[in-house]
Amino acid sequence: MRALIAGAGRLGAQIAQVLAAAHNDVTLMDIDPDRIAALSGSIPVPMRVGDACAPDFLEAAGLRGADLIIAVTGRDDDNLVISLLAKRQFAVPRVAARINDGENAWMFTSHWGVDIAVPAATPLISLIQEATGATDTVALLRLSKAGVEVMETVITSRSRTAGAALSDIGLPNGTVIATVVRNGQPTAPAPEMRLCPGDEVLLVSHHATERDVQSAFQ
């Protein structure tokens, strides 16, 4: 998948990490050269300095032919302009835009080219799954200095661990369950807790791969 991310703040940088870890073709953009410079070398994606509200810049950044753009700048008006340009001028199939101020949520519709409106409080992993249609288990964040990876798997009605107690699940070596997100709320992972379809399980591991986690839960 070819994706562009407008806005290299904390959220944009994390999204870029996740998509790059899943072997997608990702470009991260921001109007602030200092912000891009600070991220240089820490995220393995091309980065561009420029105004994503300008069609010429979007063209040069490679938006034409992209599968997805995620507008996560700190300004709602910029996110809407980026979305409208992406949809109307560049015919991008999927456009996700962050809503910084809840009072502006009514504008984040298809009229402005927005396919996926993302409230500021939306968990990162939920945003990425909705925007990309990612697989059940995705690399969320790689903490290379600590040798730790945070991953998530989503329980569905087809998952063999649906209805199972956490204590009965054979986790890969060096892996622990950090939290279970249920109905949008993180829940302490007590051993007797039983998983339900829709649960999002976040795990921390030193050794496991995405395939290992997939095998344990799905």
User: Helix or strand or coil: residue 169?
Assistant: coil
Give the integer Cα–Cα distance in Å for 218 and 209. Answer: 14
DSSP state of 131: H
Looking at the fold, whether 128 and 150 belong to one and the same domain comes out as no
Interacting residues of 163 by C-beta distance below 8 A, sequence separation 6+: 194, 195, 196
Least confident interval from 11-20, 76-85, 119-128, 156-165? 119-128
In this prediction the pTM is: 0.64
Looking at the fold, whether 9 and 83 belong to one and the same domain comes out as yes
Least confident interval from 21-25, 52-56, 171-175? 21-25
Looking at the fold, whether 128 and 145 belong to one and the same domain comes out as no
Measure the CA dihedral 54/82/69/104, to 10°: 160
**CATH number for the domain harbouring residue 120:** 3.40.50.720
Name the pLDDT band for 1 (thresholds 50, 70, 90): confident
Instruction: Check residues 200 and 163 and name the one with the higher pLDDT.
Output: 163
Q: What pLDDT does residue 16 have?
A: 83
Looking at the fold, whether 182 and 100 belong to one and the same domain comes out as no
pLDDT digits (tens, 9 = 90+) for 27-69: 999 999 999 998 888 788 999 999 999 999 999 999 999 999 9
Looking at the fold, whether 65 and 151 belong to one and the same domain comes out as no
pLDDT digits (tens, 9 = 90+) for 116-154: 888 887 666 567 666 666 544 444 444 433 455 677 788
Looking at the fold, whether 111 and 177 belong to one and the same domain comes out as no
Q: Structure tokens of 103? A: 């009072």
Q: Structure tokens of 124? A: 């990162």
Looking at the fold, whether 117 and 43 belong to one and the same domain comes out as yes
Domain membership of residue 169 as a residue range: 137-217
What's the mean per-residue pLDDT of the chain? Answer: 84
Give the integer Cα–Cα distance in Å for 153 and 93. Answer: 26
Looking at the fold, whether 146 and 126 belong to one and the same domain comes out as no
The total of structural domains in the chain comes to 2
Q: What pLDDT does residue 176 have?
A: 82
Give the integer Cα–Cα distance in Å for 26 and 8. Answer: 12
Domain boundary (114, 132, 150) is at 132
Domain boundary (110, 132, 154) is at 132
Name the pLDDT band for 22 (thresholds 50, 70, 90): low
Q: Structure tokens of 190? A: 């007590």
Name the pLDDT band for 178 (thresholds 50, 70, 90): confident
pLDDT digits (tens, 9 = 90+) for 65-79: 999 999 999 999 999
Looking at the fold, whether 184 and 198 belong to one and the same domain comes out as yes
